[in-house]
Amino acid sequence: MAIANPDPALPTSTRVAIIGAGPAGLLLGQLLTVAGIDNVIIEQRSPEYVLGRIRAGILESVTVDALTRAGVSARLRERGLVHHGIELSYGGARRRIDLHALTGRSVTVYGQTDVTRDLMQARMDAGMPTVYEAQDVSLHDFDGDRPAVRYRHGGADHTLLCDYIAGCDGFHGVSRASVPDSAKRIFERVYPFGWLGVLADTPPVSDELIYASHARGFALCSMRSMTRSRYYVQVPSDESAGEWSDARFWDELRSRLDPEAAERLVTGPSIEKSIAPLRSFVCEPMRFGRLFLAGDAAHIVPPTGAKGLNLAVSDVLHLADGLICRYHEGDTRELDAYSEKCLRRVWRAERFSWWMTSLLHRFPDADDFGHRIQQAELDYLLGSEAASRSLAENYTGLPYEGRAPVAA
């Protein structure tokens, strides 16, 4: 399947220049296109490379609604798995948290790769320009009213004039790096471990996700479909995926699961194996003149709470609404409120992701007291409807603060 226009005429001006063709950039591009607002996406990698990154798997209902609004939810509704609960495994037993009974909400299992592919297809169908394999991307004059993006492509230098720049280029992107240190405030916590993830064409060990807390470390049993599983084990932050054979991974995963799940585990050859570092990170503010940061370009959460992709989506919803108000009604109030509105939801997701990570992982510097506190927190969580409801509210996604009502 072709997933990009082969030789887009490289435009020299647009309304919104979007840096990055990950889920944030592609979703923003799609929402602006649907609203008739011209935009260009500039991506440093090839479409195949972008699709080759295996990342998130859990979508909140806010994300499903956003993809529906963007007109790209057909495959998601056909193939996505709606989950009404998750299981926590510790002390040799599994206990279920009934997300739907506690909140009336559920989550949908649908891989980020599929979300990205659906958005790429929609962009190609709409004939919108995406410049892949752009090199030496640089941002200019975003503190003025006529910013520009410069890049090399096909051996030539190009300049794209625009009204606004959306920095959707992830944690290692150029957008946040283009802002002077004096203009941003960084909040960060780096965890002393990472997640070794394996994708395998094997049936999932259970119908729902299993988050396991074990003396050997955290483990997660997830999936992409009922025939494709996604598993993770916590590893020291200095590990490399090359040190882990498939057999070693399966043995370690099995050792961290309750006996019933360990018995049911179906192993097979890994089709992807990689280690993701864990960090909490927020850049404040998220707007710098005509430059808006969205998604991982502005914040990172440890994946324990399944918030990363969902936060990127809520940023994009705020930014799309702000740009639509500006172009359709000449009203810049939503744009002016962008950073403050995003950061309210970002910090709540940062708190939840930090809390889930602290609860379920084994910290190398923790003492016996710390282990007992984790145990007590888990006992309380599963023994209290109020505590379980709090987890369920956050896991299924806190309410999205939409557009402020227009004053009568």
Q: Which residues are catalytic?
A: 83, 211, 303, 307, 395
Query: Concatenated DSSP letters for 143-187?
Result: TTTS-EEEEEETTEEEEEE-SEEEE---TT-STGGGS-GGG-EEE
User: By C-alpha distance, which of 58, 45, 12, 65 is closest to 120?
Assistant: 45
Q: How far does Cα 102 stand from its chain's mean position? A: 24
Comparing CB distances to ligand FAS, the nearer of 20 and 129 is 20
Let me know: does 111 contact 57? Beta carbons within 8 Å.
Answer: yes
Cis before 405 (ω within 30): no
Give the binding range for ligand PHB (CB under 6 A) out of 9-17, 44-52, 132-140, 303-311.
303-311
Which residues, 167 to 186, sit near ligand FAS by CB under 6 A? 168-170, 173-174
Count of H helices and E strands in the chain?
Answer: 13, 20
Q: At what angle do helices 23-34 and 308-329 cross, to 10 degrees?
A: 30
Beta strands across the sheet bearing 58-59: 58-59, 107-109, 81-83
Give the binding range for ligand PHB (CB under 6 A) out of 2-10, 25-33, 54-62, 309-317.
54-62
Examine residue 283 and tell whether it contacts ligand FAS (CB under 6 A). Answer: no
According to DSSP, residue 406 is labeled P
Comparing CB distances to ligand PHB, the nearer of 4 and 235 is 235
Examine residue 86 and tell whether it contacts ligand PHB (CB under 6 A). Answer: no
Examine residue 58 and tell whether it contacts ligand PHB (CB under 6 A). Answer: yes
Give the binding range for ligand FAS (CB under 6 A) out of 100-108, 140-148, 163-171, 282-290.
163-171
User: By C-alpha distance, which of 398, 399, 375, 394 is closest to 88?
Assistant: 375
Give the binding range for ligand FAS (CB under 6 A) out of 14-22, 233-241, 278-286, 336-344.
14-22
Comparing CB distances to ligand PHB, the nearer of 41 and 107 is 107
Least distance CB 46 / ligand PHB (angstroms): 23
User: Which among ligand FAS, ligand PHB, none contacts residue 308 (Cβ within 5 to 8 A by kind)?
Assistant: ligand FAS
Examine residue 56 and tell whether it contacts ligand PHB (CB under 6 A). Answer: yes
Q: Using the rule CB under 6 A, which residue among 306, 319, 335, 359 binds ligand PHB?
A: 306
According to DSSP, residue 44 is labeled S
User: Which among ligand PHB, ligand FAS, none contacts residue 298 (Cβ within 5 to 8 A by kind)?
Assistant: none
Calpha distance 267→260 (Å, rounded): 15
| 302-305-308 Cα angle (round to 5) | 60
Comparing CB distances to ligand PHB, the nearer of 186 and 271 is 271
| Structural tokens at position 71 | 């007109």
Mask 27-46, x = binds ligand FAS (CB under 6 A)? ---------------xxxx-
Examine residue 116 and tell whether it contacts ligand PHB (CB under 6 A). Answer: no
Calpha distance 82→60 (Å, rounded): 10
Q: Which residues bind ligand PHB (CB under 6 A)?
A: 56-58, 209, 220, 222, 230, 303-304, 306
- Return residues touching ligand FAS (CB under 6 A): 19-25, 42-45, 50, 55-56, 112, 134, 137, 168-170, 173-174, 276, 295-296, 303, 306-309, 312
